[in-house]
Structure 1
């Protein structure tokens, strides 16, 4: 039973509350800009999202040129 605005609602399916996912660390902290390596996220409740996704955003990638 779920109470919304002082009204009880019966659900036909089971509902379980889970806290939002929380990420503790990303490993490795650095990688190649060209890609090809695995990146892992560690935390709690990572299975709470129905469709989990990881998006990597580069703010200002450091680019080095060898002469």
Structure 2
């Protein structure tokens, strides 16, 4: 798994309004286009902080924010 790639995705998602809109419309497709692995995508889509924490450590709370953006 690529911790760095996932962190870069989170940062880019927060900075790029077009990417953010695309994510809201189809999060899985956006994450695949950004090169995230299926395990990372599943962890994010599940909103399970424990799964995400295994990937990126203490920054798992950021995934809750991303999940909330979609909902």
| TM-score computed with the length of structure 1 as normaliser | 0.25
Structure (1 or 2) with the greater helix fraction: 2
Structure (1 or 2) with the greater strand fraction: 1
| TM-score computed with the length of structure 2 as normaliser | 0.24
Choose 1 or 2 for highest CA Rg: 1
